[in-house]
A and B are shown apart, each in its own frame.
Chain A
Amino acid sequence: MVTNVKATDQLQVAIIGSGPSGFYVADALITSGISAEFTLLEKLPCPFGLIRYGVAPDHQKLKRVANTLNAIAEHPSVTFLGNVEVGKDIQLEELQALYQIIVFSNGMPESSLLGIEGETLTGVYPSNSLIGWYNGHPDYQDQNFDFDQDTAVVIGHGNVAIDICRILCKSIDELRKSDIPESALEILSKRSIKHAHLIGRRGPIQAKFTTKELHELGKLENCNVSVEPKYLSLGSACQKELEDISNLIVKKNFRILQSYGNNISEIKDKNKTQISIDFMLNPKAFKGEHQLTSAIFEETYLQGSAFNQSSISSKNLLEIQCNLAFTSVGFHGAGFEGLHSDEPKKTLANKNSRLVNENGDVLQGIYAAGWIKRGPRGVIGTNRECAQDTVDHILQDISGLLKKSAEGKPALIKILKEKNIQYVTFDDWKIIDNIEVERGQALGKPREKFTSLEDMLGCL
């Protein structure tokens, strides 16, 4: 047994969560030139967080961000330890005793709910259950989606909602080129969806799509994307928002939506899967005995000045017959025992990236980066900026942090061994990764993921 674990002179940094934000924190600290060692702790055996499990499986180019994260992981000062859950396998207090700096970059795994009647009916699902399932996430495999339905509604007007809508409507031949696991492809091949509605509470100017995703939807084989012209005639406040020079993405998106307005004539074409982008509808209830049969919406109108408009529900109700509904109205944090979270998104309470308790007092040496710090917004690159901001604040505190000695990784590994935790190193992950890629090659796809912890750990 190792008994003489020596304290090192280097700054010891533990990063909780190995998605992009965690890696970018390590990268920014390395680039700053300070002498530090990093331990990236990951609950799952595999790294890369939402790159692996959130980025859509048919967006392989975007998943290439993993190459950049891979290079950071290979830096001599970085150690990845997967299959280690902080709060369960190892306690925060134990980490605090071993590290000067702890950074939470563990993201927001929970889908926010609408909180309306019928949300627990069979056929109504939060976005993370579908996304986790078709991305092969081990926590979301135990589900029984029945896609043999005529009509689906997707509620939400952001990229996550578009991803869901696209996966629901894309042909199985197109999907086979993605890294959706074979088990999920098998079930998706039984889809009979003829009409998908992509529904938002506000108007086309307020939708949060990125241009690329909105454009891509219109390029799917054998699908017709349409927008009812009534949604494209703008009130004066919306017109003002559209014309504002800073509103670059909205202008581009509105041009695309106008082109989809021209497709409304093809909405009766039974040979194509119809995708309707509907606006100004506030979800009110899901109806059905046990299985969803329809969704009820209140029509809304916008009130307020440009950039300050909110949607107000009218008394007019609209019922859409549907047997599948996916709600994609944001994410929130899972909370962390002993740490204070802010409502409504359950971000870890922080001031300038420094965690604070319920009285607003800074918790020395504990920081946050990424979604868990700022909320579930932005694209992947936003997290690099966010990580840099966290590191800027860490660097301001550095002299105070260095007063404490820290044993870091060797002592942590000793504890994990004593606890019989089967931690997964980055070299171990590369074995799993290689096998997944090989399995994928045999099937003509980028990789065939392992979808259970047992199967991943069984490779080692």
Chain B
Amino acid sequence: MTTLVTENCQRCRFTECVTSCPVSAFHAGEEMLFINPDDCVDCGACITKCPVQAIYEDLDLPDHLDEWIEINERLSKTMPKITTKETPYEGAEDRKKSLGF
């Protein structure tokens, strides 16, 4: 069982997920965030916080997003931890709307 961030996170930086993570498992790349599966305890707090529903548990991950399991595992380990909320990127609200939220 693992929890992971998928493509909807790209170019948003809403980062509500980060403040709800009890174990600081989020790492930040330029474009999006990743979850370190070694740290995450699958508490699920972040899933409902994400305004663009980018976060999944692998048990209900749609097939077309499968590759994100490996991407989270790999990139979380090269990116710095993020533990506090940041200001969303310019255009994040428009992107959220375009994603249907």
Give residues in A with beta carbon < 8 Å to B: 20, 24, 31, 61-62, 64-65, 67-68, 210-212, 215, 245, 248-249, 252, 255, 378-385, 388
Interface residues of chain B: helix, strand, loop or mixed (majority) = loop
Q: Tell me the bound Cα distance from A86 to B13 in angstroms.
A: 42
Whether B57 and A211, one on each chain, are in contact in the complex, defined by CB atoms closer than 8 angstroms, is yes
Task: Provide the residues of chain A in CB contact with B47, threshold 8 Å.
Answer: 248-249
Task: Provide the residues of chain B in CB contact with A378, threshold 8 Å.
Answer: 45
Task: Provide the residues of chain B in CB contact with A65, threshold 8 Å.
Answer: 22-23, 41, 43
Q: Tell me the bound Cα distance from A185 to B100 in angstroms.
A: 50
CB distance from B97 to the nearest CB of A (A): 12
Within 8 A of A (CB), among B10-64: 19-24, 41-48, 53, 57, 59-60
The residue on A at minimum CB distance from B59 is A215
CB distance from B16 to the nearest CB of A (A): 9
Task: Provide the residues of chain B in CB contact with A211, threshold 8 Å.
Answer: 44, 57, 59-60
CB distance from B100 to the nearest CB of A (A): 7
Q: Tell me the bound Cα distance from A62 to B39 in angstroms.
A: 10
The residue on B at minimum CB distance from A62 is B41
Whether B53 and A380, one on each chain, are in contact in the complex, defined by CB atoms closer than 8 angstroms, is no
Known: A211-B60, A215-B59, A245-B101. A379 touches B44 (CB 8 A): yes
Whether A212 and B42, one on each chain, are in contact in the complex, defined by CB atoms closer than 8 angstroms, is yes
The residue on B at minimum CB distance from A381 is B45
Q: Tell me the bound Cα distance from A378 to B57 in angstroms.
A: 18
CB distance from B65 to the nearest CB of A (A): 14
CB distance from A188 to the nearest CB of B (A): 24
Task: Provide the residues of chain B in CB contact with A255, threshold 8 Å.
Answer: 60
Task: Provide the residues of chain B in CB contact with A64, threshold 8 Å.
Answer: 23, 41
Whether A385 and B42, one on each chain, are in contact in the complex, defined by CB atoms closer than 8 angstroms, is no
Q: Tell me the bound Cα distance from A382 to B57 in angstroms.
A: 18
What are the 6 closest A-B residue pairs judged by CB atoms, nearest first? A381-B45, A381-B20, A381-B22, A380-B22, A68-B23, A379-B45
Q: Tell me the bound Cα distance from A245 to B21 in angstroms.
A: 23
Whether B20 and A382, one on each chain, are in contact in the complex, defined by CB atoms closer than 8 angstroms, is yes
Whether B21 and A381, one on each chain, are in contact in the complex, defined by CB atoms closer than 8 angstroms, is yes
CB distance from B51 to the nearest CB of A (A): 10
The residue on A at minimum CB distance from B17 is A381
Whether A382 and B23, one on each chain, are in contact in the complex, defined by CB atoms closer than 8 angstroms, is no
Q: Tell me the bound Cα distance from A255 to B83 in angstroms.
A: 33
Whether A388 and B43, one on each chain, are in contact in the complex, defined by CB atoms closer than 8 angstroms, is no
The residue on B at minimum CB distance from A389 is B19
Task: Provide the residues of chain B in CB contact with A24, threshold 8 Å.
Answer: 22
Whether A212 and B23, one on each chain, are in contact in the complex, defined by CB atoms closer than 8 angstroms, is no
Contact of B48 among A68, A212, A248, A388 (CB under 8 A): A248
Q: Tell me the bound Cα distance from A210 to B46 in angstroms.
A: 12
Within 8 A of A (CB), among B43-96: 43-48, 53, 57, 59-60, 83-84
Known: A211-B57, A215-B59, A249-B48. A20 touches B22 (CB 8 A): yes
CB distance from B20 to the nearest CB of A (A): 4
Whether B45 and A68, one on each chain, are in contact in the complex, defined by CB atoms closer than 8 angstroms, is no
Whether A384 and B22, one on each chain, are in contact in the complex, defined by CB atoms closer than 8 angstroms, is yes
The residue on B at minimum CB distance from A65 is B22
Task: Provide the residues of chain A in CB contact with B41, threshold 8 Å.
Answer: 61-62, 64-65, 380
Q: Which of A67, A249, A385 has the most CB of B within 10 A?
A: A385
Q: Tell me the bound Cα distance from A252 to B62 in angstroms.
A: 12
Q: Which of B21, B47, B53, B100 has the most CB of A within 10 A?
A: B47
The residue on B at minimum CB distance from A253 is B60
Whether B84 and A68, one on each chain, are in contact in the complex, defined by CB atoms closer than 8 angstroms, is no
Task: Provide the residues of chain B in CB contact with A380, threshold 8 Å.
Answer: 22, 41, 43, 45
The residue on B at minimum CB distance from A69 is B22
Task: Provide the residues of chain B in CB contact with A212, threshold 8 Å.
Answer: 1, 42, 44, 57, 59
Known: A380-B22, A381-B20. A245 touches B100 (CB 8 A): yes
Whether B19 and A385, one on each chain, are in contact in the complex, defined by CB atoms closer than 8 angstroms, is yes
The residue on B at minimum CB distance from A247 is B48
Whether A382 and B45, one on each chain, are in contact in the complex, defined by CB atoms closer than 8 angstroms, is yes
Task: Provide the residues of chain B in CB contact with A20, threshold 8 Å.
Answer: 22
CB distance from A248 to the nearest CB of B (A): 6
Q: Tell me the bound Cα distance from A383 to B60 in angstroms.
A: 25
Whether A31 and B59, one on each chain, are in contact in the complex, defined by CB atoms closer than 8 angstroms, is no
CB distance from B27 to the nearest CB of A (A): 15
Task: Provide the residues of chain A in CB contact with B20, threshold 8 Å.
Answer: 381-382, 384-385
Task: Provide the residues of chain A in CB contact with B84, threshold 8 Å.
Answer: 31
Q: Tell me the bound Cα distance from A191 to B43 in angstroms.
A: 29
Known: A211-B59, A212-B59, A248-B53. A61 touches B42 (CB 8 A): yes
Q: Tell me the bound Cα distance from A425 to B80 in angstroms.
A: 33
Q: Tell me the bound Cα distance from A24 to B44 in angstroms.
A: 18
Q: Tell me the bound Cα distance from A211 to B3 in angstroms.
A: 12
